[in-house]
Structure 1
Amino acid sequence: MPPRTAVTGRSHEPRRRFAEELRLLRAKKGNSLRKLGEILGWDASLFGKLESGKTLGSPEVVEALAQHYGAEDWLLTLWELAVGDKTQFKEQYRRYMALECEALSLWHYAVGVLPGLLQTEEYAREVLAAGGLTGAELTQQIEARIGRRDLLAGDDPPQFRTILSETVFRTPLRDARAWREQLDVLAEAADQPHITLQVLPHGRRLHSLACTDVMFLRLLDGRVVAYTESALHGELVEEADQVERLQRAYDAVRDLALTPDESRKFIGQMLEEVPCDPST
């Protein structure tokens, strides 16, 4: 029997196929991205990210698109296949990742490891390898994590605030050159108008986020959700009262942190402490 050949010539990879179908559906409908945003009530940039494959969106967005295009019988199914594609993020992160790409603003606190949105490839490699990943799975997860950095790039990135415990800076990479590169990335990020970076130095009083990383997302519908993470467990928090309790804890941490200007100086001091590369 001869090998099976493609009938449509379109991608067989679910995430790419989903983006392709969205582009084709919009072209057939004759909508611009701006017009689509006006009709459905979401920002046009979200639909651009969906069609480029940068995000998969939330079920609510995809359901609205399916109804608009008259594709209820198959578009959501294709989206579910794309979301379930194990070449991207692990199961517990997928719902969060979809929301992250839609967020208007993000607030973050890190106990000991930099947020993926600010990690260099070498930093991501060492962190993921320390967690036990190897081989093809390690490579896939590095690519997925580095791809998240696109969220803070482009013409209209979301506002992002991160508070980094001093522990983050006192846990360097093994390679001094790679660590300097990571610190340079942080210094550059701190100068971006849409990024606010603060450092929580050692010696401040105890607080309720001392063992918990947290990310807050303000969504297009006005809701705020949170994602908390410890060494062994991650949880998406959507209940309003729990999110509010976490926000109060976050506000207390922000009050203890250095100002953005002081934090930029702190990063500069950390750069001075990194040994010079003898090969340069």
Structure 2
Amino acid sequence: MSVDGEVRQLTTEADEPGWEVDPDDEWGVAVVATVGRQLKLRREAVGMRAGEFGAAIGYGEDLVYKVESGKRIPRQEYLDKADEVLGAGGLMAAAWEDVKKVRYPKTVRDLAKLEAQAVEIGLYVCNSVSGLLQTPEHARALFQAAQPPYSPDDVERMVAARMARRSVFERDPAPSISFVLEEATLRREVGGTMVWRQQLERLLEVGRLHNVTLQVMPTKTDAHPGVDGRIEVLKFQDGTAVGRSDGAFNGRPTSDPKQLRILELRYGTIRAQALTPRESLAFIEQLLLGEA
């Protein structure tokens, strides 16, 4: 296609995977379908065919049909260009506020919602750095290492979702958050030396926050209740709580008081066996200096 003497490359479904809609995400399906329908109505109102509209915003006709039928989640750039071309006065661009939430998987949104409401969060992770603590580069390296591999677009979507959860550190009033990390995971240079160092620096930054307690579980220690996997306990303002553990209750979230007491006992035992917060930060600093 020639425009003003130049060849214009359209973004098509083949070279622009986009974000697929999770059919089990009812709210997400509804949001994307509504936005798609509004885009189609406005396009038809100005008398543009799908192919013309796609050419005007730099996307292929096949992708336009996917977005308008609610089968593909549009990117912010798509909505911004559509708003301009259709003369929507900012209405289509504003739809991004809802659409951007849909791009995160429902399970991640649910988890982020719970974390946003919790007044106390306790996390132990056995085999990796907790997602709340990860840098974008560290998270990206982990997702890229998966087998079978994720598509590049899926990787970026998951990285964005994980980074969105970090807003928990910006809440006011701030929740009380405690982490216990295994020494072995801190020594693994995920993503290479530079990414590894940035991740350790991020741990020091978060570990020094007034509402955060970060502890390291030494490798040379006895067995503890967390060797089966992660433990997570979230407590809320109204006195309720929810928790889960890979090694208990089939890994499913639970709010049963008896089961929660078991998880709290295990998490408390783990914290007692780990280095103190001051010793833990000192240990991470020694790792950065190559002295540990």
* TM-score band, normalised by shorter chain: 0.5 to 0.7
Q: Is 2:168 the counterpart of 1:151?
A: yes
In the TM superposition, residue 234 of structure 1 has moved relative to its aligned partner by 5.5
| Residue 141 (structure 1) aligns with | 158
Query: Percent identity at matched positions?
Result: 27
Q: Given the superposition, is the C-alpha separation of residues 139 and 234 from structure 1 closer, same or farther in structure 2, using an over 3 Å criterion?
A: farther
Could you tell me how far apart the structure 2 residues matched to 1:227 and 1:94 are? 17
- In 2, the alpha carbon distance for the partners of 1:134 and 1:204 equals 39
| 1:248 aligned residue (261, 265, 272) | 265
Is 2:26 aligned against 1:9?
no
Q: Which digits, 9 at most, give the CA deviation of each residue in 1:127-176, with x for residues without a partner?
A: 11223322111111111111211211254321110011112112222421
Q: Report the count of equivalent residues.
A: 204
CA distance in 2, matches of 1:229, 1:273: 33
Report the counterpart of residue 178 of structure 2 in structure 1: 161
Q: Does structure 1 retain, via aligned residues, the 8 Å contact 2:138–2:191?
A: no
* Matched residue, 1:38: none
Unaligned runs of 5+ in 1: 19-52, 54-81, 275-280
Of 98, 122, 126, 2:113 maps to 98
**Which piece of structure 1 moves more, 113-122 or 235-244?**
235-244
SS at match of 1:107: strand
Distance 2:186 2:141 in 1: 15
- Please tell me whether the aligned partners of residues 137 and 191 of structure 2 are also in contact (alpha carbons under 8 angstroms): no
TM value normalised by structure 2: 0.63
Residue in 1 that maps onto 2:104 = 88
Structure 2: unaligned runs, 5 residues or longer:
1-43, 49-67, 69-85
User: 2:16 is matched with which residue?
Assistant: none
- Alignment RMSD (CA, Å): 2.6
Task: Name the CA shift for 1:92/1:143 in 2 (closer, same or farther; >3 Å).
Answer: closer
* Alpha-carbon distance in structure 2 between the residues aligned to 1:205 and 1:125: 32
The equivalent residue for 2:142 is 127
Q: Structure 2 CA distance, aligned partners of 1:192 and 1:17?
A: 31
SS of alignment partner, residue 129 of structure 2: coil
Task: Tell me the secondary structure at the aligned position of residue 118 of structure 2.
Answer: coil
What's the offset of the Cα at 1:252? 0.8
Find the aligned partners of 1:214 and 1:273 in 2 and give their Cα distance: 30
Alpha-carbon spacing, 1:268–1:95, altered in 2? closer, same or farther (3 Å): same
Q: Is the 8 A contact 2:127 2:229 kept in 1?
A: no
Higher-Rg member (1/2): 2
- Distance, in Å, in 2 between the alignment partners of 1:8 and 1:120 is 33
The normalised TM-score by structure 1 is 0.66
Deviations 1:204-237 (A, max 9, x none): 221221021122111122111113348xx86322
Whether contact under 8 Å (2:119, 2:176) holds in the other structure is: yes
Within 5 Å, which residues of 2 pair with 1:6-85? 9=91, 11-13=94-96, 16-17=97-98, 85=102
Match of 1:277 in 2: none
